[in-house]
Structure 1
Amino acid sequence: MRTQLDACRIATGASLREAIKAIDRGGVRIALMVDGKGRLVGTLTDGDIRRCLLRGMDLASPASGAVQRQFQAARGSMLHTEAMALLRRHSIDQLPVIDGGGHLVGLYLLDDFLDQQAAGLPNPVVLMAGGRGTRLRPLTDHCPKPMLRVAGKPILESILEQCIASGLQDFHLAVNHLKEQIRDHFGDGSGWGVRIQYIEETTPLGTAGALQLLPEEARRGSPLLVMNGDVLTRLNLAQLLEFHASHGAAATMCVRSHDVVIPFGVVEAEGVDLVGIREKPVLRHQVNAGIYVLEPSLLDLIPPGEAMDMPSLLLAARAAHQRVAVCPIHEYWCDIGRPETLQQAHEDWARIEELS
């Protein structure tokens, strides 16, 4: 996604003529002005230069007179999906990337994102949206949990849009509780330019058991991306699929670091002798994040017609000597299972959308 920047760079003392050469040389319709320390000062497009020429400036004039100093930029840690959202939100074709010191380190191009999305990824996506959400009652008495709104949009719609932004196009929604609401909202996916099919459980089959109901082409093709329908995250899903492939795994489970603070002094003893005291220690665990990548062949490990959860399938894969990889995620992640996490998601997601 990031182009070579040398051709696009111009110095603060460059002329309009030099800016035009940089635009032509870079081939991405923008010149990037940097100071002597490599910090981004501003941007120039051919439109900026034309407006200066119409005002009577000549090509020998300083480019600083045309530079746009109020510009949109991405931080180096920004996900591709966030960068694309920023490009679209501000109707721009190029997005410089800067580090924490303001140094120019890259350039995102809308055309690159559109090419990736047009090409698409072949991986089927299974979104688990059949849970009853009992811990969120009474909100889920008449609304399926994945359709609860966070920052003005159903949780499941935000998940779908993030998948689409990563180039995924083939979706299977596992539904049960109040399934008609989900069907009525998403239909066949044509409103989002993707294909949506539905897995209907007559009885709950668990997060793994429902995969038995996938159509044959999904069971024999590319690795499956499986996500719980109540998880909001900024994880780069295309990179997750690359991680899975690069580690030669039969299954990959995403995990999130979770700290538990013991509010007491923990005593260490040998028999009746005191060895030590740890005051309010923090226990750090890796917890299941509800996002998985599975090779379709693993579905043969699910007992036909029986319920099975995903941890059981992963343990069965291990018992069958299949590699199960663990992918730590440091990006934003929220499992919306309780009223307090729903409220937290409202606050977090609204802030994330505002910054995108």
Structure 2
Amino acid sequence: MISPKQFIANKKTTIKEAMEKLSSLGKHYSHNILLLTDKNENLEGSVTDGDIRKAFLNGATMETTLQEIGSKTPIVAPEGMPDENMLQLLKINKIQSLPIVNDDGIVVGIKKLEDELDYGRSDNSYAIIMAGGLGSRLMPLTSDIPKPMLKVCDKPILQILIESLKYYGFNDIVINIRYLSDIIVDYFKDGSDFDVNIQYIKEPEPMGTAGSLGLIDNGILSEKPFLVINGDILTTLNFRSFFDFHNAAEYDFTLCGRPYKVKIPFGYPVIEGDTVTEFKEKPEFVHLVNSGIYCISPELVQMVTKNEYFDMPDLIDAAIESKKRIGVFPLREAFHEIGRIETYKEAEGFYKKHFLHGITTDWYMHNS
């Protein structure tokens, strides 16, 4: 049981302040909780990382207060409940933190699921990395090396990604290869030097961002959801939390949506019917855009057209048409895509800021 003092927050706390506090509670902040109490320390509500992500999807801003987004009826355990019963409560309700209250409703402790489990656990779930592209926009840098093997601070992009996956318990990795594939295979081999298990699938020709899924052995993707990640990104995303989010919500397909700002350089009338109700001068809108990170349930692989070009948007459209549950996980962690020479030059600074010093920075916090 953990002392609750560091988890206490005021109802008037803003989302920005809450994100800073959650981050300060430890590297695995997405599993933390903030407890909303009155002046007598009676529990009145709670806010989790998931609550904040959902709030952003519903239009919340960094200045939205916690009383507007928090759960007013958090699941709690009475003081004295046996540990095994609290663990059962955590698992049944698919939550990461359980406030413990005394007879007066005052929080006296917190039970956390990660204290009971190996956080970097491996459950034989697979991560598939798409690393077969030509990297045309990075020519001439990619004329003799695959884009995912370009180095950032003397380490290939692909290695950084594999190390992140391993940290979150994804030890079974499949790498999709094609362009200059021998360089990738010769470097990583079977993955044993990196303490992971690596298999390869080689496209005979370009097959799109999802087509190669049809080449993977059915035994690999037949039982559990799996991750699919573009091989040209750097991110501090907690891959385990993303995976758990997909399973807890029982989605068939979940994509990471990162915030992208669009600024209108003109005056913008807000119109209802033919009436202007508000006028905004050069407004800025934030949309969630695809980040190239997905969690997919195995039955969707059957929708991939075999041995044909098939992009991930094609798979999403097919899933929607088949009435599958498609979810979005708002990505508020640091993210950097290396798609152009300019972004490759920026990658070293990104890596030094977010990886070398162990900093996990929230995307929204620095881009709002």
Give the TM-score taking structure 1 as reference length. Answer: 0.67
User: Kindly tell me: are residues 269 and 80 of structure 1, through their superposed partners in 2, closer, same or farther at Cα, counting changes over 3 Å?
Assistant: closer
SS in 2 for 1:326: strand
Tell me how many residue pairs correspond in the alignment: 264
Give the distance between the partners of 1:80 and 1:267, measured in 2 at CA: 40
Query: C-alpha offsets along residues 150-184 of structure 1, whole Å, 9 cap, x if unaligned?
Result: 12211110000000000111111000111111111
Q: Is the 8 A contact 2:131 2:148 kept in 1?
A: yes
User: Kindly tell me: are residues 264 and 216 of structure 1, through their superposed partners in 2, closer, same or farther at Cα, counting changes over 3 Å?
Assistant: same
Give the superposition deviation at 1:270: 10
Q: Does 1:5 align with 2:2?
A: yes
Q: 2:265 aligns with which of 263, 266, 280?
A: 263
Give the distance between the partners of 2:191 and 2:314, measured in 1 at CA: 31
Give the distance between the partners of 1:200 and 1:150, measured in 2 at CA: 25
Give the distance between the partners of 1:269 and 1:206, measured in 2 at CA: 40
Q: Does 1:154 align with 2:156?
A: yes
Counterpart in 2 of 1:234?
236
Q: Which runs of 5+ in 2 are unaligned?
A: 8-22, 31-108, 359-368
User: Kindly tell me: are residues 265 and 129 of structure 1, through their superposed partners in 2, closer, same or farther at Cα, counting changes over 3 Å?
Assistant: same
* Runs of 4+ with deviation above 6 angstroms: 105-108, 110-113, 268-276
Q: Residue 183 of structure 1 aligns to which amino acid in structure 2?
A: V
Give the distance between the partners of 1:316 and 1:148, measured in 2 at CA: 34
Q: Is the 8 A contact 1:79 1:234 kept in 2?
A: no
User: Kindly tell me: are residues 268 and 228 of structure 1, through their superposed partners in 2, closer, same or farther at Cα, counting changes over 3 Å?
Assistant: same
Counterpart in 2 of 1:79?
28
Q: 1:183 aligns with which of 182, 185, 192?
A: 185
The aligned runs of 1:107-256 (5 Å cut-off) are: 115-117=118-120, 119-256=121-258
Give the distance between the partners of 2:131 and 2:200, measured in 1 at CA: 10
Give the distance between the partners of 1:239 and 1:271, measured in 2 at CA: 43
Q: Which runs of 5+ in 1 are unaligned?
A: 10-36, 40-73, 82-104
Give the superposition deviation at 1:334: 1.1
Give the distance between the partners of 2:219 and 2:346, measured in 1 at CA: 39
Q: Does 1:282 align with 2:279?
A: no
Q: Is the 8 A contact 2:268 2:279 kept in 1?
A: yes
User: Kindly tell me: are residues 111 and 143 of structure 1, through their superposed partners in 2, closer, same or farther at Cα, counting changes over 3 Å?
Assistant: farther
User: Kindly tell me: are residues 273 and 317 of structure 1, through their superposed partners in 2, closer, same or farther at Cα, counting changes over 3 Å?
Assistant: closer
Tell which structure's C-alpha radius of gyration is larger: 1
Percentage of pairs with the same residue: 36
The aligned runs of 1:15-54 (5 Å cut-off) are: none
SS in 1 for 2:342: helix
